[in-house]
């Protein structure tokens, strides 16, 4: 479902601050929209340093007034929803919601799937194959999908050449889902070599089971694990995870208070973690985690963005770096900070969008916060972004198109 184009806008947004119960909330509405544009055609990793890196590098300042870009269609697939690249491999790997992983290689789509789970995935609107990532050395493919019962699997497949060995599949995580929506599903390896797993609050509406604030539940969380078998268990727990050894909390949890994190990414230059979290009734939010030892609470379901949703209100909550209201969309799709070389004016900008608003947008640093602007490009039914080994960006539409962002 696409949305109509919105009027042009540039607006400034304050940076993230930490809030407590005494915070005086300011309910504000974004009053302008965006302009539409034309569409053109064995062993776990070693113990890491703190993540993200403790000393962020300086970043280029984007100049969106000089941005000139176009979308070039490089493939047409069936409901593309996830993107990954593999070490020492020039292919682009695309996960289709229907259960297949396809490779784009040499300018075309390979004739056979890298992996076909079409008989094992559920087909609800927010279900299916939802995420994929390759281990840092490229030996294993990890996928996140919902099975016919609606439960979430994070499954490992050894790679033999350019094909996943389906007969050697190994479930890393199996998570019961109480409802059919809010599955999250995104997977990414961080700069620390660990696997990060995004999970929604379990669904329905308003988090009726209070999963997001419950540290004994994996739902409504961002997890951080070593996905390889460890001491007889299917995965390992990094010793410096924030809740290791804490009674009443799952040690896998890295961050919590999330409703349905629909795409997160690490800035390849400085390790910053960006988390887009789809809202309930009034707010879509983008969270930014800079240098952190984990344990951040993003507020749901006490807060939706910076607005109170329901009590009891959690204390010591991280405000979003940016939020927007229903006049700009109602299902945020997280992207990447652009670090490629082909579009210098975009370097350092965080590119994102919304499923219900085809306009692609960017956040740029400004006066300690962020300024938001339209890129003048549109992708109806936006489902995901991707980043290749060079830092160039790709855009996926659930309608089938895979685009590359070109100068």
| Nearest alpha-carbon partner for 85 in 398, 391, 400 | 391
The yes-or-no verdict on residue 329 having pLDDT over 80 is yes
Beta strands in 37-79 (DSSP E): 70-76
Contacts 24+ apart (CB under 8 A), 149-152: 149/122, 150/122, 150/124, 150/177, 150/179, 150/180, 151/175, 151/176, 151/177, 152/177, 152/183, 152/185, 152/199
Which tens digit of pLDDT belongs to each residue from 141-163?
Answer: 999 999 999 999 999 999 999 99
Residue 169 vs residues 60, 135, 325: alpha-carbon distances, Å: 42, 15, 42
N- to C-terminal Cα distance for the chain? 28
Domains annotated on the chain, with CATH: 10-406 (2.120.10.30)
| Nearest alpha-carbon partner for 95 in 11, 185, 23, 27 | 185
What is the greatest pairwise CA distance in the chain? Answer: 58
Which tens digit of pLDDT belongs to each residue from 183-233?
Answer: 999 999 999 999 999 999 999 999 999 999 999 999 999 999 999 999 999
| Nearest alpha-carbon partner for 215 in 181, 196, 187, 243 | 243
Cα-to-chain-centroid distance, residue 381: 16
pLDDT grade for 115, boundaries at 50, 70 and 90: very high
C-alpha count within 13 angstroms, C-beta hemisphere, residue 196 = 25
């Amino acid at each position: 479902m696409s949305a109509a184009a919105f009027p042009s806008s540039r607006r400034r947004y304050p940076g993230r601050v930490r809030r407590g119960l005494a915070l005086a909330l300011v309910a504000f509405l974004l009053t302008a929209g965006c302009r539409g544009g034309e569409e053109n055609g064995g062993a776990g990793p070693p113990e890491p340093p703190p993540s993200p890196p403790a000393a962020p590098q300086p970043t280029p300042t984007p100049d969106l007034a000089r941005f000139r870009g176009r979308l070039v269609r490089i493939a047409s697939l069936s409901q593309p929803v996830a993107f990954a690249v593999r070490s020492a491999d020039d292919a682009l790997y695309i996960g289709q919601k229907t259960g297949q992983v396809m490779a784009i290689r040499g300018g075309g789509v390979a004739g056979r799937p890298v992996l076909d789970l079409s008989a094992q995935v559920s087909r609800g609107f927010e279900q299916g194959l939802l995420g994929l990532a390759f281990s840092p050395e490229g030996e294993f493919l990890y996928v996140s999908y919902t099975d016919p019962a609606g439960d979430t699997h994070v499954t490992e497949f050894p790679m033999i050449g350019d094909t996943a060995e389906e007969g050697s599949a190994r479930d890393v995580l199996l998570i019961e889902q109480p409802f059919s929506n809010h599955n999250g599903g995104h997977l990414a390896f961080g700069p620390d070599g660990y696997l990060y797993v995004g999970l929604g609050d379990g669904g329905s509406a308003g988090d009726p089971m209070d999963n997001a604030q419950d540290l004994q539940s994996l739902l409504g969380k961002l997890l951080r694990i070593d996905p390889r078998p460890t001491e007889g268990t299917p995965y390992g727990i990094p010793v410096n995870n924030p809740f290791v050894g804490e009674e009443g909390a799952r040690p896998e949890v890295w961050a919590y208070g999330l409703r349905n994190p629909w795409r997160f990414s690490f800035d390849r230059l400085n390790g910053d973690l960006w988390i887009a979290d789809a809202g309930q009734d009034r707010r879509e939010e983008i969270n930014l985690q800079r240098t952190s030892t984990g344990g951040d609470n993003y507020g749901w379901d006490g807060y939706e963005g910076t607005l109170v949703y329901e009590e009891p209100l959690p204390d010591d909550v991280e405000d979003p770096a940016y939020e927007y209201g229903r006049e700009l969309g109602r299902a945020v799709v997280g992207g990447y900070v652009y670090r490629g070389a082909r579009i210098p004016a975009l370097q350092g900008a965080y590119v994102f969008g919304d499923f219900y608003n085809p306009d692609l947008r960017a956040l740029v640093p400004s006066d300690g916060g962020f300024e938001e602007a339209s890129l003048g490009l549109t992708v109806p039914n936006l489902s995901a972004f991707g980043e290749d080994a060079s830092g160039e960006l790709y855009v996926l539409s659930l309608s089938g198109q895979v685009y590359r962002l070109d100068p």
